[in-house]
Amino acid sequence: MGRRRPGTPTLEEVAAHARVGRGTVSRVINNATGVKESTRRAVQRAIDELGYVPNLAARSLAGRGADAVALVMTEPDWRQFAEPFFSEIVTSLGDALTDTGMQLLLTLVRSDAERQRFLEYARGGRVDGVLLMSVHAGDPLPDMLAEARLPTVLLGRRSGDEYVSYVDMDNVGGARSAVSHLVQRGRRVIATITGPLDLHAAQCRLRGYEEALALAGMKVERTRVAESDFTAESGRRAMTELLERHPDIDGVLAASDTTAAGALEALRAAGRRVPEDVAVIGFDDFPLARRTEPQLTTVRQPIEEVGRAMIRLLLEEMEEGAVAWRHVILRTELVIREST
């Protein structure tokens, strides 16, 4: 293995020398699958040059992190986990990991204490990488993981200035195409039900709504905007408020299919026909969109591709180290059905 330098080289030093993640070194030491041959050679070269000699205890410790990825949900409201988006994403990530031999570990992190506890857990080598979803503006967890040099990929962004690797959808373009469709169908009093506005995705969908109205020469009125938390109940409540403010509303963009389903219930309760009186568009294109009455026109998000892209980016970071942040934005598609 070569002469050892003064002091005992650590697993982290080997990882830094080879320009890979700590988990990749663990996998090479333990002869785990899923490591490119060029990466394996780079790690072995670093081990030789530094004189790193893992003993059985060290190999056991390193092995704890082999072949495991943590999916961290940071949403503080437990109700959100009942929404279709979460189950669809978990399924797509699991499918994307099928051929890698790695396990997907689900954990909830919703407080400062839980953030610190998870950071210590991850730094202890128990996972090779971290996937984060539902990260709200100002959440420090991605920064904590980046400073610890743990391979990390976000679903979405905290802001337009995000630097940690992420996969996101074209939320602005998707919302813009939806509202433009309403304008083309002759709708003139168009409202929107946003998601939580401390989520960058919700901000982007609001921006797309505003851009589409501006392109059509229509005035943006803040009283035609109501916030929700992506649940059906919040969609019912927001739609009821919008009708009270603007009884002449004839078009609505909702920030999720679940929210749109709630809006449909409120419109039905108010005696409004869809789409004759009010056209409604959702966002996601989950199976729910085909079960509503009428079926929802919606903005389709490529959920399967989201899972594949997140796993691809994470594996690249695990094998190659933090050479550069990777940002992927996927296209959306307007799916037209009965509600418009």
pLDDT in tens, 162-172: 999 999 999 99
The separation between CA 28 and the C-alpha centre of its own chain, rounded to angstroms, equals 29
Q: What's the token pair of residue 219? A: 């005035």
Opening angle at CA 292, ends 290 and 295, nearest 5: 55
User: Alpha carbon 206 to chain centroid distance?
Assistant: 18
Answer yes or no: do 71 and 156 share one domain: yes
Residue 251 has pLDDT above 80, yes or no: yes
Residue 287 in any domain: the answer is: yes
- pLDDT mean over 65-94: 80
Tell me: the pLDDT tens digits for 7-17?
A: 557 777 888 88
pLDDT tens sequence across 272-290: 999 999 999 999 999 999 9
Does a structural domain hold residue 147?
yes
Q: For the residues 111-136, what does the mean pLDDT come to?
A: 90
Q: Domain range spanning residue 132?
A: 66-167+302-329
How many folded domains does the chain comprise?
Answer: 3
Ranking 41-45, 72-76, 101-105, 228-232 by mean pLDDT, the lowest is 72-76
DSSP state of 193: E
The answer as to whether 291 is a domain residue is yes
Torsion angles phi and psi, residue 223, rounded to 5: -75, -10
Q: Tell me: do 129 and 176 sit in the same domain.
A: no
Residues in CB range of 122: below 8 A, 6 or more apart:
70, 130, 145, 148, 150
CATH code at position 42: 1.10.260.40
Instruction: Verify that 268 and 173 share a domain, yes or no.
Output: yes
Domain at 106, CATH number = 3.40.50.2300
Interior/surface letters 194-230, b for 16+ CB within 10 angstroms, e for the rest: bbbeebbbbbbbbebbbbbbeeeebeeeeebbbbbbb
Strands 190-194 and 152-155, bridge-based pairing:
unpaired
Please determine, for residue 57, whether its predicted confidence score (pLDDT) is greater than 60: no
pLDDT at 330: 97
User: 111 and 83 in one domain?
Assistant: yes
Does 227 reside within a domain?
A: yes
Q: 30 with 143, same domain?
A: no
CA distance 194 to 204: 10
Q: Identify whether 282 is part of a domain.
A: yes
Shared-domain flag, residues 179 and 272: yes
Same domain membership, residue 173 and residue 156: no
Same-domain pairing of 259 and 205: yes
